């Protein structure tokens, strides 16, 4: 739209009209039956997206709040291993440093395979909890949640999984993989407004509940209030209504269809990058694959990040650069949520034009390559 | 309106149309200039409501999150005295128990004057920080922030003031009173949606910044990001837009006018209670006065809380009962935010009719008494 920037970033993402309109309602008493119904609806609709039978607690706070809630409530006083190959893995490590008895980073370069053998050794030696970012958007790599879950089960460790940017856009099977605590953010594949997050916790997680917990992020208080269909503290009501509407849209699309669509969109962007002759940033292997919700592409020599993204923005489209030490080295395109074929075609065309404008000779048409993948 | 319940509770409160519509916008990149402008606008417009020159940090979380942020960031490892004469005073004490070196309650019955002499003795003996709820809606009493500030200054203690339900509806002069940390919630007198809170902190507060801080509620991270017109973590963007619109409406009304209007509305409800022959719940004295944003009225013998509030609800109006141990003993009417004369007349008329229906013989017309006070 002329008065809106098309966000093709790894979140936030454009929201469907129905989701936005759900926020414009008049205030209600959040201790009443209507809000209780909303909470129940969210619990019911989010469970299959998490791949869990455990109850889902929705937190009025961003994904980071839910990450902190997971670690503070269930990993306090433990030996925690944090798997890190990107910015959000680092964040989970930093949070673990606050609450864990001992927090250790198991680190590889951003976007490269994680040191799973080292992790197994640490588990043998008594690591009690492991944190993993399933879909690391800072590098657009999908990490091996199933394999990490297998290792955690083998050594009876708690598995904390950040599914912030995979849930509702990619396959997440928390229970089958053995993820004890799983987290999602609202403004990613759910295509809901920013400001909410949600957590599921297994029986085993609850058995490990910390005695001393934070107040606002005390998940035991959430559990207790959920029994009365309430939240322990004032919830961000308009965002809950919006997230329910977003979940309804996901139900209507069908989760399998949605996951297939996400996979298809990411494939299309990767096909475009290949056609242009550009390299994808992340390194895959048997366990690590490309993200199905975001794509990170390395800049060729001579292309300046701000010039490139500025040129794309002239077409009314916003994409992301790299974060921290990869700033200037990569650009990232998100293909999440309610965005579909038209939006992917737009961003690929704009990026291709921007590359040409900046003097890069593309090998072949990325637009055509993307379109070939996208056609239904 | 026929399809909406009129909320006359001590928050949440009805939102003006402009505030609600501000939420329905498409998602934007919260790392861009537009969101930065919104943050700057909020900082500028909230300062006079807080009565401070200090910067205001807006948190994506309810008032409780801001209360916790205040205590966790600035009172960790200290001797903290919590003044308690209601539910929210208790909450600040519970939070202090988590973070303080030593947390002590200075307690009186709900809605009765606080033990200020005992507080002074504790300050003499080395109390380093004091928490106070300025406007305690659980009992509809306004606590002596200025006097507590004076004591804190005298003994060089930090003063943490919860202004959640007074700011933007009653006079708050954080700097003049010596409040080092001051907190507001979005869904009270601001008449914005639930889900945001805001904190100001003095130079002295920053000098007392805890070394070990929570992650999501790390106010130092907020301060650092504010320098770039950003928040440290993903903000609840639609709520920020709505709160900005709510602040604009307050600017248009004029803060003094708004405070006078709030005072007038609360006086009208108290006048109605007096006309009916009912007692106000709280006890005032030289330092403690009636709340200007909420009124708590004691039930006469024979009136059952659920019957009464149910009868009021039949008129499409929701009021609050008592919380915890005063449940069933009082009812509470909020007169906050954008609600005005029509809404006050509605709630008083409905309450009067409900009292009659339940067999209580009102002494005289509360509706008329309220109308006498309300006329402009």
CATH of the domain at B189: 3.40.640.10
C-alpha distance from A61 to closest chain B C-alpha (Å): 6
Average pLDDT in the B12-17 region?
Answer: 97
- Apex B206 CA angle, B201 and B209, nearest 5: 115
Question: What residue of A is the nearest CA neighbor of B319?
Answer: A29
Tell me, yes or no, whether A143 and A283 share the same domain. no
Question: B225-228 — which CB contacts under 8 Å span 24+ positions?
Answer: B226/B39, B226/B43, B226/B55, B226/B57, B228/B36
From chain B, the residues in CB contact with A217 under 8 A are 216
Task: Find all residues with CB under 8 Å of B101, minimum gap 6, and list them.
Answer: B77, B78, B79, B80
Read off the pLDDT of residues A183-242 as tens digits, 9 standing for 90 and up.
Answer: 999 999 999 999 999 999 999 999 999 999 999 999 999 999 999 999 999 999 999 999
Q: Tell whether B65 is within 8 A of chain A (Cβ).
A: yes
Q: Flag whether pLDDT at B279 surpasses 80.
A: yes
Beta bridge partners of A185: A197
Q: Flag whether pLDDT at B3 surpasses 90.
A: no
Tell me, yes or no, whether A285 and A202 share the same domain. no
Q: Is B322 part of any domain?
A: yes
C-alpha distance from B285 to closest chain A C-alpha (Å): 31
Q: How high is the pLDDT of residue A110?
A: 98
Tell me, yes or no, whether A210 and A298 share the same domain. no
| Residue A293 near residue A10, CB atoms below 8 Å | yes
Which residues between 192 and 251 in chain A have a beta carbon less than 8 angstroms from any beta carbon of chain B?
A: 193-196, 212-217, 233-239, 242
According to DSSP, the β-strands at A289-290 and A141-142 are antiparallel
Average pLDDT in the A109-135 region?
Answer: 98
Question: What residue of A is the nearest CA neighbor of B3?
Answer: A26
Q: Tell whether A126 is within 8 A of chain B (Cβ).
A: no
C-alpha distance from A238 to closest chain B C-alpha (Å): 7
Q: How high is the pLDDT of residue B243?
A: 98
Q: What CATH number does residue B327 fall under?
A: 3.90.1150.10
Q: Flag whether pLDDT at B365 surpasses 70.
A: yes
Q: Is A261 part of any domain?
A: yes
**Of B223, B252, B281, which marks where a domain is finished?**
B252
Tell me, yes or no, whether B237 and B284 share the same domain. no
Beta bridge partners of B298: B330
Q: Flag whether pLDDT at B26 surpasses 90.
A: yes
Average pLDDT in the B363-370 region?
Answer: 98
Contact between A68 and B215 using a beta-carbon 8 Å cutoff: yes
Contact between B64 and A216 using a beta-carbon 8 Å cutoff: yes
Read off the pLDDT of residues B87-103 as tens digits, 9 standing for 90 and up.
Answer: 999 999 999 999 999 99
From chain B, the residues in CB contact with A4 under 8 A are 26
Count how many domains chain A has: 2
Tell me, yes or no, whether B215 and B361 share the same domain. no
Mean pLDDT (chain B) is 97
3-class DSSP state for residue B270?
helix
Q: Flag whether pLDDT at A2 surpasses 80.
A: no
Read off the pLDDT of residues B282-330 as tens digits, 9 standing for 90 and up.
Answer: 999 999 999 999 999 999 999 999 999 999 999 999 999 999 999 999 9
Contact between B68 and A216 using a beta-carbon 8 Å cutoff: yes
Tell me, yes or no, whether B119 and B230 share the same domain. yes
Q: Is B1 part of any domain?
A: no
Whether the ω angle into residue A12 lies within 30 degrees of 0, i.e. cis, is yes
Partner-chain residue, chosen from B1, B60, B237, that has the shortest CB–CB distance to A61: B60
Tell me, yes or no, whether A23 and A156 share the same domain. yes
Helix, strand, coil percentages for chain B (3-state, nearest 5): 45, 15, 40
Read off the pLDDT of residues A165-187 as tens digits, 9 standing for 90 and up.
Answer: 999 999 999 999 999 999 999 99
From chain A, the residues in CB contact with B68 under 8 A are 214-216
Residue A164's pLDDT band, with cuts at 50, 70 and 90, is very high
Tell me, yes or no, whether B63 and B170 share the same domain. yes
Could you identify the residue written with the tokens 């040191």?
Answer: A115
Q: Flag whether pLDDT at A1 surpasses 80.
A: no
Read off the pLDDT of residues B243-254 as tens digits, 9 standing for 90 and up.
Answer: 999 999 999 999
C-alpha distance from B362 to closest chain A C-alpha (Å): 29
C-alpha distance from B214 to closest chain A C-alpha (Å): 7
Read off the pLDDT of residues B191-230 as tens digits, 9 standing for 90 and up.
Answer: 999 999 999 999 999 999 999 999 999 999 999 999 999 9
Q: Flag whether pLDDT at A375 surpasses 80.
A: no
Q: How high is the pLDDT of residue A355?
A: 98
From chain A, the residues in CB contact with B98 under 8 A are 212-215
Task: Find all residues with CB under 8 Å of A268, minimum gap 6, and list them.
Answer: A335, A344, A348, A369, A370, A371, A373, A374
The tokens for A153 are: 């089960």
Give the span between the Cα atoms of B340 and B262, in whole angstroms.
9
Which residues between 339 and 368 in chain A have a beta carbon less than 8 angstroms from any beta carbon of chain B?
A: none
**Of A252, A267, A284, which marks where a domain is finished?**
A252
Instruction: Indicate the DSSP class of residue A190.
Output: T
Q: Is A121 part of any domain?
A: yes
Taking Cα atoms as reference points, which of A128, A99, A131 lies closest to residue A114? A131
Tell me, yes or no, whether B67 and B190 share the same domain. yes
Residue A69's pLDDT band, with cuts at 50, 70 and 90, is very high
Q: How high is the pLDDT of residue B2?
A: 75
Q: Is A68 part of any domain?
A: yes
Tell me, yes or no, whether A25 and A137 share the same domain. yes
Q: How high is the pLDDT of residue B156?
A: 98
Could you identify the residue written with the tokens 């002590």?
Answer: B104
Q: Is A99 part of any domain?
A: yes
Q: Is A1 part of any domain?
A: no
Give the span between the Cα atoms of B61 and B240, in whole angstroms.
11
Mean pLDDT (chain A) is 97
Contact between A26 and B14 using a beta-carbon 8 Å cutoff: yes
Contact between B233 and A65 using a beta-carbon 8 Å cutoff: yes
Tell me, yes or no, whether B222 and B267 share the same domain. no
Q: Is A276 part of any domain?
A: yes
Average pLDDT in the B138-150 region?
Answer: 98
Tell me, yes or no, whether A244 and A283 share the same domain. no
Q: How high is the pLDDT of residue A376?
A: 63
Partner-chain residue, chosen from B1, B21, B194, that has the shortest CB–CB distance to A30: B194
Structural domain of B35? 17-252
Q: Flag whether pLDDT at B73 surpasses 90.
A: yes
From chain B, the residues in CB contact with A235 under 8 A are 62, 194-195
Q: Tell whether B282 is within 8 A of chain A (Cβ).
A: no
Helix (H) or strand (E) holding B353: helix B341-357
Q: Flag whether pLDDT at B376 surpasses 80.
A: no
Q: Tell whether A26 is within 8 A of chain B (Cβ).
A: yes
Phi and psi (nearest 5°) for B306?
-65, -35
Question: What residue of A is the nearest CA neighbor of B212?
Answer: A98
**Of B252, B279, B308, which marks where a domain is finished?**
B252
Give the span between the Cα atoms of A272 and A270, in whole angstroms.
5
**Measuring CA to CA, how many Å separate B314 from each of A29, A148, B347, B350?**
15, 56, 12, 9
Interface predicted TM-score (ipTM)? 0.97
């Amino acid at each position: 739209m002329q008065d809106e920037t098309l966000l093709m970033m790894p979140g936030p993402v454009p929201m469907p009209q129905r989701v936005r309109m759900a926020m414009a309602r008049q205030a209600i008493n959040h201790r009443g039956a209507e809000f209780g119904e909303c909470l129940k609806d969210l619990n019911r609709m989010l469970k299959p997206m998490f791949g869990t039978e455990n109850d889902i607690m929705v937190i009025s706070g961003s994904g980071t709040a839910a990450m902190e809630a997971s670690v503070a409530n269930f990993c306090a006083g433990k030996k925690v291993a944090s798997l890190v190959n990107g910015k959000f893995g680092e964040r989970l490590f930093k949070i673990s440093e606050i609450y864990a008895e001992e927090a250790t980073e198991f680190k590889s370069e951003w976007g490269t395979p994680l040191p799973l053998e080292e992790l197994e050794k640490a588990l043998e030696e008594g690591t009690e909890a492991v944190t993993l970012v399933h879909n690391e958007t800072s590098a657009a790599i999908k990490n091996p949640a199933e394999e990490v879950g297998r290792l955690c089960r083998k050594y009876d460790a708690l598995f904390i999984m950040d599914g912030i940017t995979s849930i509702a856009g990619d396959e997440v099977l928390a229970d089958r993989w053995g993820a004890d605590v799983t987290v999602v953010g609202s403004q990613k594949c759910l295509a809901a407004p920013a400001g909410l997050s949600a957590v599921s916790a297994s029986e085993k997680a609850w058995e490990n509940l910390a005695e001393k917990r934070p107040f606002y992020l005390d998940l035991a208080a959430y559990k207790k209030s959920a029994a009365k269909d309430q939240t322990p503290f004032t919830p961000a009501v308009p965002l809950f209504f919006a997230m329910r509407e977003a979940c309804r849209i996901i139900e209507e699309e069908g989760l399998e269809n949605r996951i297939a669509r996400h996979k298809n969109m990411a494939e299309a962007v990767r096909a475009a990058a290949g056609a242009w002759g550009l390299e994808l940033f992340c390194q895959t292997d048997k366990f690590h694959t490309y993200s199905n919700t975001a794509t990170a592409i390395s800049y060729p020599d001579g292309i300046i990040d701000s010039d490139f993204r500025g040129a794309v923005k002239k077409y009314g489209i916003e994409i992301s650069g790299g974060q921290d030490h990869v700033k200037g080295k990569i650009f990232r395109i998100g293909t999440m949520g309610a965005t579909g074929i038209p939006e992917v075609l737009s961003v690929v065309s704009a990026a291709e034009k921007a590359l040409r404008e900046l003097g890069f000779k593309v090998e072949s048409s990325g637009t055509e390559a993307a379109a070939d993948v996208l056609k239904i």
